[in-house]
Amino acid sequence: MSVRIIVDSSSDLPKSVIEHYDFTIIPLSVHFGEEEYLDAINITSSQFYDKLKSSEIMPTTSQIPPERFIEYIQPELDAGHDVVVVTLGSNASGTCQSAHIAKSELGSDKITIIDSNALCLGTAYVAVEAAELILSGTKPEDLAQALKPFTDNGIEHLFCVDTLEYLRKGGRIKASKAMVAEILNIKPILNVEDAITQTIYKVRGRKKIIPYYIDKIKKEMDPDNRRIFVGHAQDEAFARKLITSLEEELEWSGEIILGEIGATIGSHAGPGVLACFYKKKS
């Protein structure tokens, strides 16, 4: 049995991981006013951030429509493959529901849909775990149950934005609060529960972000965790500082995957985001 895994582009999977597991990436849409782009198809992360900085219009992203899922899934079914679709959390987007509509229209029991209940590289984490399970012999119909340790809020998402400018522009934070935070050099740290972001802490100054992450990871990471994802938005040097700290202070010898955060998170948070994803203690 051949299984093809389709992952939506909000996962921000790096090219090396896509190639290693032979993932197919299906794009969300990115809009700057009436201009529409397909995420990671005709707009790269770098191009997106360049446009974000120069545009007077705040971008938006939209879910993948059922027709696009059908376009990607049908050829795999025609080739005799089983198809596993991994999407960002259904509480954050209608993308997962679109996948279910596509499955219903195709009328095939060879399609398995996994709601990652995660965002960004958290979805990537679930996709990699799904691929590893398939490689070890897990059947597609058993994946949802096997992935519950990860999809039941088992993956910690740590995000820190460098500026509140884009949250303010997008109406997600009051201008007065953003101004005070900028003056005091406050950096909010967020995590994700059921695919919804929430502020969990605040640090003063960028230098305190990585120490906070390391301390939290030391306390909360599952001792059997095998991989950590590190994400950045236009600041790879800062992400590599976090990787060095993970290796040295945690004496981490597991896999660290570095990815660039794209349009889905970038539309709200802007450049300069530093993120870390790992499996929490159960």
The confidence band for 166, taking pLDDT boundaries of 50, 70 and 90, is low
Is 60 exceeded by the pLDDT of residue 147? yes
> What is the DSSP secondary structure assignment for residue 222, as one 8-state letter?
-
- Can you tell me the distance from the alpha carbon of 257 to that of 230, in angstroms, rounded to the nearest whole number? 6
Lowest pLDDT segment from 34-48, 125-139, 175-189: 175-189
Q: Domain 155-279, CATH 3.90.1150.10 — does that match?
A: no
Distance from C-alpha of 204 to C-alpha of 131, rounded to nearest angstrom = 39
User: Alpha-carbon distance 161 to 61, whole Å?
Assistant: 19
Q: Are 186 and 218 in contact (CB under 8 A)?
A: no
pLDDT in tens, 197-242: 888 999 998 999 999 999 999 999 999 999 999 999 999 999 999 9
CATH 3.30.1180.10 placement within the chain: 155-279
Q: What is the pLDDT of residue 184?
A: 52
Going by pLDDT thresholds of 50, 70 and 90, the confidence category of residue 168 is low
Distance of CA 141 to the CA centre of its chain: 24
Q: What is the pLDDT of residue 1?
A: 58
Q: Of 126, 134, 121, 199, which Cα lies nearest the Cα of 160?
A: 199
What does the block give as tokens for 269?
């948070």
Ranges in the chain annotated CATH 3.40.50.10170: 3-151
In this structure, CATH architecture of domain 3-151: 3-Layer(aba) Sandwich (3.40)
How does pLDDT run across 67-102, given as a tens digit for each residue?
999 999 999 999 999 999 999 999 999 999 999 999
Contacts of 167 (CB under 8 A, 6+ apart): 161, 173, 178, 268, 269, 270
Checking if the pLDDT of 185 tops 80, the result is no
CB 82 within 8 A of CB 4: yes
pLDDT at 47 over 80: yes
Express each pLDDT in 247-271 by its tens digit. 999 988 899 999 999 998 888 888 9
